[in-house]
Structure 1
């Protein structure tokens, strides 16, 4: 089969800076078109990034017969509506995280996707496709059993009109970056949390600016803190009965640069160097291979639904001030 022909739904920053360049250098995909609600912006972005066509509307992109797959990096409240429209137009879809606004939307998308068994849909949690996490997975047997996972992810965004500060658009720290902490714990424990406890602060904004959460699993516990109003940073510590691993840039390391995994056992540390990799390109290539081979996508929508279930429970816990069982 030819390379998968991609169209990009909007000129979002993550598309321009990360996903489009990754697909343009991928083995199995190529960017053929981009769309914007502002025709001039679509044309300009297409010209700047070397994309053949800049469509004047999202509808025009979905009607393009030369597009096989859509990348959807729209604001969170538009993830499900436009993914549904893309499926109806016969396109495969890679949709940015979080997959929707809540569990109900994730379930709606999962149900709808079953009407299109030949079309692939996947949530774009790119961090899972970086080899540093494949190495951590390999190390779990030697440091485990894992009993505790801790992580922090933060940045500072005080622009009141930014979409990440708009409740109606699905903004807030938990939706934007806290979802990584949930996803990571589920990924490493290979299980779902039994119950969660959440705490949120708003600090004058209509969305949460700081969220802390504790998740109880059968095997152990996981906690995370996320913030959109503090100095930017991130780290993860995975602690087991026989050792621990720490990652300094767990979620968005700079593409095509080396990373490190710090392993601590018996009171001493050693560093494992991870070769340069582009997790966006790896994600796109594996999604393309699923299309080409008509095989399962690496992370099914059932995984996205489970992540949203935990996220909703954390919000409910923060509102009620009690543990919430899943």
Structure 2
């Protein structure tokens, strides 16, 4: 079976703990190298994960002629610069979300992609997870009647000022970290773009990051709302409510890799859940699925799961939400 040779740009924790081990289980991914700015750190990570080659600089990894694709989990402000460097080195790139700090910055990747001929994709693993494919099919198939409203919530607690998620100058904050998920999944399920958006944002007085946000997105015929917070009880849920039913995603974003995901369908308005249908999806690791899906698109020269143009549209919504929080009025993406 054809596989793609991958190199990992940095020893970021999300890569070491989640993405790399998951991609190593894939049918189309082969993790062959990892780089850090320190060779000892790179070698330690490589030994831990059974990766053959370790590099003491990102440049050395990009110069490796045997590497086909790069996974970029660097801090947000480095996503575009190092994605550009990787593409110009002839490597396909799977870049952690958000793809950029702003839509304008993300748009610069179009020219880079077209000039170099490589694939560039934002690593929104939810977009290839079976539970989200199922939700989209359920809504499209009439399980809720005519879709009218979408509700989302995503939160965790992290007030450590030394954590990169709490560093405003390098792209920290809740909207770019987790608020982006209700946006992309609402767009994915509706297959549409919001015509206008509005938001309220509360910023941490010590770090400046957005620690709490409430948003409303006006889709054609559908109102979508969500709340996110980086300083609240960990919780997540997404609901799609229509004229004759509701679909709820139990663990929409941090889908567990060790047990089935569950989607519930309520067609009667069952307050106590006695007539709710529960759909269990097969146990998968969403990072394995995402890595294989992108690799397969490259190997088979087929459309990638999340086009770069889609990521730019998502960034435009996030930009508009930030603008609305400042202006106090509806903004158009």
What range is the shorter-chain TM-score in? over 0.9
Residue aligning to 1:83: 83
User: What's the offset of the Cα at 1:111?
Assistant: 2.4
Residue aligning to 2:255: 253
2:123 counterpart of 1:124? yes
Structure 2's unaligned 5+ residue stretches are 270-274
Contact 2:146 2:243 in 1 (8 A): yes
**Residues in 2 aligned to 1:184 and 1:137: alpha-carbon distance in whole angstroms:** 9
Contact 1:156 1:232 in 2 (8 A): yes
**Residues in 2 aligned to 1:95 and 1:116: alpha-carbon distance in whole angstroms:** 16
Residue aligning to 1:184: 185
Contact 1:258 1:274 in 2 (8 A): yes
- 2:237 aligned residue (206, 216, 235): 235
User: What's the offset of the Cα at 1:116?
Assistant: 2.1
For the residue of structure 2 that corresponds to 1:224, the secondary structure is strand
**Residues in 2 aligned to 1:76 and 1:57: alpha-carbon distance in whole angstroms:** 19
Moved more, 51-60 or 105-114: 105-114
User: What's the offset of the Cα at 1:259?
Assistant: 1.2
| CA deviation map 1:203-228 (0-9, x unaligned) | 31311000111000112111111111
Written as runs of structure 1 = structure 2, the 5 A alignment for 1:294-305 is: 294-305=301-312
Contact 2:136 2:188 in 1 (8 A): no
Q: TM-score, normalised by structure 2?
A: 0.95
Residue aligning to 1:102: 102
Moved more, 172-181 or 271-280: 271-280
Residue aligning to 2:272: none
Contact 1:120 1:290 in 2 (8 A): no
Written as runs of structure 1 = structure 2, the 5 A alignment for 1:101-250 is: 101-117=101-117, 119-140=118-139, 141=141, 142-204=143-205, 205-250=207-252
Structure 1 residue ranges, 4+ long, deviating more than 4 angstroms after superposition: none
Structure 1's unaligned 5+ residue stretches are none
User: What's the offset of the Cα at 1:233?
Assistant: 1.1
User: What's the offset of the Cα at 1:2?
Assistant: 4.2
For the residue of structure 2 that corresponds to 1:143, the secondary structure is coil
CA RMSD of superposed structures (Å): 1.1
| CA deviation map 1:16-50 (0-9, x unaligned) | 11110111111011100000112211010000110
Q: TM-score, normalised by structure 1?
A: 0.97
Written as runs of structure 1 = structure 2, the 5 A alignment for 1:304-319 is: 304-319=311-326
Residue aligning to 1:325: 332
**Residues in 1 aligned to 2:2 and 2:238: alpha-carbon distance in whole angstroms:** 39
Contact 2:128 2:305 in 1 (8 A): no
